[in-house]
Amino acid sequence: MELSSIIRKFIMALSGLFLIIFLITHLVINSLTLASSKDLFNEAAHFMATNPIIYAMQYVLALGFIIHIGMGIKLTIQNKRARSQEYVYNRMSKNTDLSSRSMIVSGGLVIVFLALHLRDYFYQMKFVGLPEGTTDYDLVVNLFTNPYYTAVYVIAFIVLGVHLNHGFKSAFQSMGANHKKYNPLIKIVSTAYSIVIALGFSTIAIFHFINQSSIL
């Protein structure tokens, strides 16, 4: 493999690991909406919006996403080119190709979700402002009154889980942690993490949907 491609994979892994940490923090904060008191989440949201260090981290986060997406597209194009030359000689590349192709598809779907999600929350909170008498908590839960909307979110969380499961493992490989002894552990942690993220975010969406509808 070329040096530039190894560096690209390393940066991809590093930005991916950063996003992995962001997601777990985001999940913990959002799970406060499951508590019976609205105040807990509103206070956490207020702290996140006003703390200067967290404010600055938003730019790092945006950069993390941009680098990760940009490198992902670049690596896919690079792999495609390499494959058209190697394919005739090396049928083994078919397998790795399938998983990397599924990464660009699941990654693409996560980008579509992110655009929707940022419009709903980030844009609404930062640029439009909340309607009179409503809090951050109300904005979060009100969106889940719609069953189709809730379903789109839950499907996105499952796709995100699939993306993370492969991404987590391959991030460690790209950073050189490819060892017979540790690979099974990395695989277990990767699967556990992806399940916690997909199930955790889905629970929040479904909980608020059930809570506000009359189906139970």
| Residues engaged in binding ligand HEM (CB under 6 A) | 23, 26, 30, 45, 48-49, 58, 61, 110, 114, 117-118, 121-122, 125, 140, 157, 160, 201, 204-205
Angle between helices 3-30 and 183-212 (to 10 degrees): 40
Diameter over CA atoms, the chain: 66
Eight-state DSSP code of residue 146: S
Q: Are 54 and 48 in contact (CB under 8 A)?
A: yes
| 10 or 22: CB nearest ligand HEM | 22
Burial of 11: CB neighbours in 10 Å, binned 0-12, 13-18, 19+:
middle
Nearest in space to 38 (alpha carbons), one of 142, 138, 150: 138
Q: How far is CA 165 from CA 90, 109, 183, in A?
A: 26, 15, 14
| 75 or 160: CB nearest ligand HEM | 160
| Shortest Cβ 89–ligand HEM spacing (Å) | 38
| Shortest Cβ 131–ligand HEM spacing (Å) | 15
| 48 or 82: CB nearest ligand HEM | 48
| 83 or 117: CB nearest ligand HEM | 117
| Shortest Cβ 171–ligand HEM spacing (Å) | 16
| Shortest Cβ 33–ligand HEM spacing (Å) | 7
| 43 or 86: CB nearest ligand HEM | 43
| Shortest Cβ 177–ligand HEM spacing (Å) | 24
